[in-house]
Amino acid sequence: MASTNVKQSNIFSNTILIVLIFICLHSSAQKNTTKGIYQVKSGTISLQLGSRGNIVGLFIGKSQANWISSGGTGLKGFHLLGEGSVNSLKKDDSVVFTRTMKDSIGHTCVVSDIFTPQKGSIHWEISITSKDSCWTTPITTQLKCAKPEEKRIWTAWSDPNHSDKKEWNDPFVYLPFSNQHWTYGNEKKTTDYRELHTPENGDFVSVPMFSMIVPATDKAVSIILSPEDHILNMQLSVTEAGDLQFDREKNRIGNGKTIHFSMDIVPHEADWRGGLRWMASRYANFFNPANPTADEIGGCGAYSGYEDIVDVARLKKMAFRVNWKLSDDFPWMGMFLPPLTNDTDTWKRACDEPFPPGKDSIQSFRKMNEHTKWLRKNGFYELSYFNVTELGRNMSKPPKRNQNDPELWKDPVSFVKYKIPNGVLIADNPTFYGAHVMDCGDAAYQQFILEQAKRNIKMLPYNSGICIDRMDWLRYFNLKADDGVTLVNGKPARSLFESWKSLLTKLGPLMHQAKKVIFVNPMAMRLDLMKDIDGFYSEHGESGPGLNSMAFISLRKPAITWTYMWWGTWQQAPKFELLPNPDQFFQRHLYMGVFPTAPYPYNNHAINPREETDNEYLAYGRLLDAMHGKKWVLAAHCVETKTKDVKVNLFEVPSGYVLPVINAGTTEFAIVLVRNIPNLNKLEATVIQPGAQEDVPLTTRYHDGVLELKVPLKRGCAMVKLVKKNKKE
């Protein structure tokens, strides 16, 4: 916890600010902390509200224990004008509170809080309207937990200890209230655009939610923010005193427009799964792949431009399924497939990557198709490299062609100058290949991207789809454009988060209607960006924070992580270092439901075939393959273990369920309990152990709705399979 203590000292000033905001905006809550003037009730949850729409109490069931003593909506630097009013009591039993607010320089706005009972939650919507010229200030949701010393907290944190190291820490732990701060997504603060903003930071959340938990009473409450909102930058802060605050930044207010934010207050059991279960149901289109074929594609992956035959049987034993085709087939970054009409037409590759054996500088659609067809025939899949934030090659050179040149596409400098001049975000070659950083919200650039996608569909019929690289650039703002929702430095701008969403509303249906998938390298790890995404291949997902954060956004989607070159470079350099503890590496991937990269020939800056590492993949291959098509089971307390230090999780798969048991060390058996899944008493169990070629039958005991398993372990691990019993038995 040492890293947490360092963070606490850095954010202590935020603690004071939060407390002051609460005092200013919720003084009425101090007068009445147990009973409100108004009540909004849904099922077992009762929300008590004061005269200004401020929360003064939250109760679950018949308990008299108050969960939230105060809360409401605030705008930084603003104060109330008058007392506000209750505008209406609607037929749906919602209560609407409206008030006018003003800051010290004269900005005014009308703020409304609408509380509506819904099945399983109380829905809370915020609307803000101002007739002034555009302005912005942090828009806050503040809550104060009653008796925080009795509660524990949980969120979809990248690391519960705020660790930025590549170590892995179990994210399914509950912590006491303390002075903590997270960003939504890995929004590392820096002005150096050459610095990669990867998901390796331990100080962010990938899903916008927060849970307060009381294990002793088996009760919890989650605050769940809508991923459908225009969330640009957002911070989450808590204090030791029980204060909780979400701060939304850079949202444009004014010109008579109304902006909206919404969230839900959700009661559930004292289990981290409860809030995620509700969210995955309510916002299913953010969690489910739009193209179900993605589940078939998911497995151990590769990033290779190798086009020769591979050892099919060996790779299948390692749970390998998909190659993300290395980005070396294009003439220049962004021109992935040239505007040629025949599959025999050729072009010269950029050749910025070393040649694998048997591959020269000339490429064609036919050559690419032949290799992809061979992979599909042997049960494997291939995804094309795609990138929507980088374009060009050696862009500092002068243009070579004029606007009407029929081969304008061969020169990226000329092409951008004449075809996509307004799509350039950063032009001083900050990235690989000497390419520009681009804004995918630009109309002309979007059209170019969609043309590339259409060419992929038409010219590469055996290809399964695309995998989009470099989402880290999305953290930037285009100060020369306007998305209608963003304000930066007092001026309209376009957030590249909004640009991405705009592009995917077109790219998603285009690819999905052609029965192709969209995977991404989620270097911007935020749920709201993933609505049209089918799966993940993260270049930075092997580290602890990257693995955890991707697991949360891939609850129902396939996810693959990089396995870095410290297990052997693709050039097979003499220096080679075996991972200190392969068991920990594989077991945390099983636990989080994520596949690693397999040792594939000529993987680029990733693991390559080598006897020492191949043997580890062969030992764990059957366990990895068992979670093919996994969906997280989020039923209440669905799985737990009585064995010290052991960790367990539960996934649904096409054949039934799989249950990884990890971290047992030298322990020979683990006692595992499974509950709250359908037809539990009709399931039979077998066990896959590392290195074993056959499943081990497992005797089960079913009593009082609980399936009890005594799981035999090897290397501290096992994968339990639960399938329907044979009807003949």
For each of the domains in the chain, give its residue range(s) and CATH number, in order of start: 2-282 (2.70.98), 287-626 (3.20.20.80), 633-724 (2.60.40.1180)
pLDDT at 292 over 50: yes
Q: What is the pLDDT of residue 574?
A: 42
pLDDT of residue 404: 95
Give the model's pLDDT for residue 446: 98
Q: Could you read off the pLDDT of 574-632 as tens digits, one per residue?
A: 445 556 689 999 999 999 999 999 999 999 988 989 888 899 999 999 999 999 999 99
Length of the chain: 729
The pLDDT, as a whole number, for residue 36 is 76
Per residue in 467-480, pLDDT (tens digit) is: 999 999 999 999 99
Higher-confidence position of 201 and 269:
269
Query: What is the arithmetic mean of pLDDT over 496-514?
Result: 98
C-alpha–C-alpha distance, residues 154 and 171, integer Å: 9
Q: Between the CA of residue 512 and those of 447, 507, 528, what are the distances in Å?
A: 17, 9, 19
Q: What is the pLDDT of residue 327?
A: 85
- For residue 552, what are the CA distances in angstroms to 61, 634, 693? 29, 12, 31
pLDDT of residue 63: 85
Instruction: Return mean pLDDT, the chain.
Output: 91
- pLDDT tier at 165 (50, 70, 90 boundaries)? confident
What mean pLDDT is predicted for residues 685-689? Answer: 98
Q: Is the pLDDT of residue 567 over 90?
A: no
Residue 655 binned pLDDT confidence (cut-offs 50, 70, 90): very high
Q: Is the pLDDT of residue 3 over 70?
A: no
223-265 residue pLDDT tens = 999 999 999 999 999 999 999 999 999 999 999 999 999 999 9
Is residue 699 predicted with pLDDT exceeding 60?
yes
pLDDT tens digits for range 533-548: 999 999 988 779 999 9
| In the predicted structure, residue 299 carries a pLDDT above the cut 90 | yes
- Does residue 83 or residue 271 have the better pLDDT? 271
pLDDT of residue 18: 40
**Identity at 120, one-letter amino acid code:** G
Is residue 637 pLDDT above 70, yes or no? yes
Q: What does the pLDDT read at residue 563?
A: 87
Sign of CA dihedral 343, 346, 352, 358: positive
69-119 residue pLDDT tens: 999 999 999 999 987 777 666 677 889 999 999 999 999 999 999 999 999
For the chain, the straight-line distance linking the first and the last C-alpha, in angstroms and rounded, comes to 52
220 pLDDT more than 80: yes
The whole-angstrom separation of Cα 13 and Cα 590 is 40
Q: Average pLDDT of 360-382?
A: 96
Q: Give me the pLDDT at residue 82, please.
A: 81
Residue 318 reports pLDDT greater than 70: yes
Predicted model pTM: 0.93
The residue-averaged pLDDT of 341-366 equals 92
pLDDT of the residue at 53: 87
Model pLDDT, residue 571: 42
| Beta strands, E only, 93-176 | 95-103, 108-118, 121-129, 139-145, 152-154, 175-176
Q: Packing angle between helix 496-513 and helix 443-459, nearest 10 degrees? A: 30
| Single-letter residue type at 427 | A
Quick one: tokens of 353? 């990557």
Arithmetic mean of pLDDT, 171-181: 97
Sign of the C-alpha dihedral, residues 702, 703, 704, 709? negative
